[in-house]
Every structure is written in structure tokens, then in C-alpha cells.
Amino acid sequence: MSFAAVDVIRTKRDGFSLSDDQIDWVIDAYTRGEVADEQMSALAMAIFLNGMTDPEIARWTAAMIASGDRMDLSSFDRPTVDKHSTGGVGDKITLPLAPLVAACGAIVPQLSGRGLGHTGGTLDKLESIPGWRASVSTEDYLSQLSSVGAVVCAAGDRLAPADKKLYALRDVTSTVESIPLIASSIMSKKLAEGAGGLVLDVKVGSGAFMKDLDTARRLAETMVRLGSAHSVPTVAVLSDMSTPLGRTAGHALEVTESVEVLAGGGPSDVVELTVTLAREMLALAGLSDVDPAKALADGRAMDVWRRMITAQGGDPSAALPEAPEKHVVTASADGVVTRMDAYAVGVAAWRLGAGRARKEDPVSASAGVVMMRKPGDTVRAGDAIFELHTEEVSRFEGALEALADAVDIGTEYVPSPLVLGRVRG
């Protein structure tokens, strides 16, 4: 069935629901180039302004999945489960989480992305490991899942290609924040991976795309309902991103910290969230009786990490890139660190070379921010708060501007929970 794009746009512009046939046609036609970018931009803005019903979002997601291939993981004799984070600062959780869950008996098919703006990308972090490659053929992907139990790699061009086109369009038309479009974008890719269960880490706070808890919960609920509509059990964990995760923001820096977690150490917040998400993933996989904390402590997760990195050409024992230029930012007063703004730290890491303004921009593997103090730590005037890492001295100025109001020092710190809630199907 064929439609006129202008009629589809008008339907949504005037506040009506799109029919299944209209949705199927417009996604397919846009993927093939029959619907122009200008027309899809108008439709995206109409969706942004007028929203979508749950049946519309479910059909829109299904149409984007149908625009490409869907992985078939049914042949594995172990349960498959995946995780997705909506993105944040210092969010290195996938790195220890994927091998940890695999060490506990599940298969983790983790297709990941690159960073954009102030948020870091998992593939950018892993590419700081010498030799590691993000691109994996379908044959090697399935073989690695069978032999290692976990893959973290880039999605192929045939996985939800409609989303790739629409995502780029949303980025330049100020329609990124639309919950129906965010939810369908994330879930079309994740459902196309073919995992039997999905855990969503929905970030909340200044360093996240969702700044407040109510909006984040609405997004989480929408995605969980989408998982149910597509017969994939889905759970969302709402986690705080007002403060950066861990003590590093930057690619090689975060890999180093992730390896510390896999070795049984690392920052307490990174360990807490990794274990929390692992337990949710294992529950969906029917492995609730397995304790992921033990798999961190006894080295099983580290063993899987080494095999996973090696399988994709990386050397897990190799030295990571180190920035030639460093600058220390010190405390201006005595007291307790009461606040550290995640967004400001993310922007500083970006300006130091760890981030990109456009998807095609290169990133520096060694650039980033080390947080020498975090909220709750006592400081004296002159103590180091941040250590900035970059390849170019000229980048310090912009990073220092971003951090000018990033930290508060007071007399009392009131801790807030890292996990703010859960949404279950």
C-alpha cells in the first residue's frame, strides 16, 4: 500500500494517530529514499509536538526493525540477555558488566555505539586498547558468543537501518528529546539483536539526556512496554547521573578503571551499579541463584574479559595510551565536596579531546578527566580535585571554563542513592 508523505505528515500534525499501514509505508519509503529528509523532518517534529500512542510506538519500532535484519540467537543452549544505557559521564559499566554476566552463565550480545557530545561511547573506550576492533562479521559474532559468552561490538549496517537515518535527522532538527522517538530508536536496535531479555539503565540528572526523574520514568515505562509488546522481557533501572560514575571520564582512563573493577577493586559506585545490573540481567536469564559479586571476587569475570578482548584482536595486557599533557585543578577552600556536576565534567572531557561534535569526528584515546576527589571527600585548599589529560595544551582553557562551577565545597555532604527506582513489565 502506498501513501502520499504529505498526508501522513498532516495526520500527525493535526493530532491524529497514524495507522499501521501509514507507519509501515513511511518507514520503508524513508529507508529507500522515497520520502525526503525534509518530509521526515516535518513528521518527526509533528511527533515531537503531538506524541504517539503506545500502539503507534510499538508499530513504529516494529517497522524500524523490519527495515533490516534481525539476529537469530535461538540456537544457543544458554539464555541470552542484553543491556542498554541511555548514556552518561564516566559510564563505563558495559565493560565489566558484559564479561561478568557471561561468567555467570548467560550469553551477552552487546551491540554498542560511540559517544556524541558530552557522553562517552563504549566503542570509543574499547578502541583505546591496542589492536581491538569494533567491527565483527556475523559469523565471528556468533562464534564468539558461543566460545566466550560475550561480544561488545558495533552494529552492522543491516541492523535497523531506518533508525540510523532517522537518528541523524533528529540530531539536526531538534527532535532528539521526543520520548516516542528515543524509545523506538533504542528498542528497535536492541530488539533486532535477538536477545531473550533486556535490562535498561536509564540515567537521570545533569549528565544524562533525561534531566528529571519523572521524564526518565516515562521513558523507562515506554521502553519496558515496547519490550513486552515484542515478547522480550524488559526491566529498566533508573540510576543517578547528577554526579559522574567512578573517578574517570575518558576512554583509556575508563578502561583502566574497568579492569580494576574486574580485578575485585575499583570505585564503589561503579561496582554497585555493575552488580545491580548484573543481578537484573541474570534474573531475566533465569539465573537468579548465581551471585555476580562472587564472579568479580574470584577472577571469573576477568578471565572472560581477557578472552573477549583477545577474540576481537585486542591485547588485554598492553599498555594503554597516556596523555602527554596534564593539568591539576585544586580546591579553593577547606571543607567537604558536596556536589560535582556530571555535565560539566563531561563537557571538560569532550573539550580535552575525548568527545566529538559530529559522529565522524576523531577522538583522543588518552584525553579525559581524573576526579581526585568526589562528593563526600574532605579537602583542604590547594588539594587536587581534578587532573586533566590531553594531547594539546591549547585544550586546557576550554576544559577549565567548563569546570569553573562544577564543584561545591561545604560543611556537610548528604549522600543520595545511586539506584533511584526500577520499572518492570
Catalytic residue among 124, 163, 240, 341: 163
Judge whether 170 counts as a catalytic residue: yes
Judge whether 189 counts as a catalytic residue: yes
Radius of gyration (C-alpha) of the chain in whole angstroms? 22
Judge whether 84 counts as a catalytic residue: yes
- β-sheet bridge partners, residue 407: 340
Catalytic residue among 164, 170, 373, 395: 170
The C-alpha cell 501522513 sits at: 8
Contact criterion met (CB below 8 Å) for 13 and 46: yes
Catalytic residue among 59, 118, 125, 189: 189
Catalytic residue among 12, 59, 83, 84: 84
- Which triple of cell numbers denotes residue 371? 576526579
Contact criterion met (CB below 8 Å) for 284 and 197: yes
Catalytic residue among 185, 206, 242, 364: 185
User: What residues are annotated to the active site?
Assistant: 84, 163, 170, 185, 189
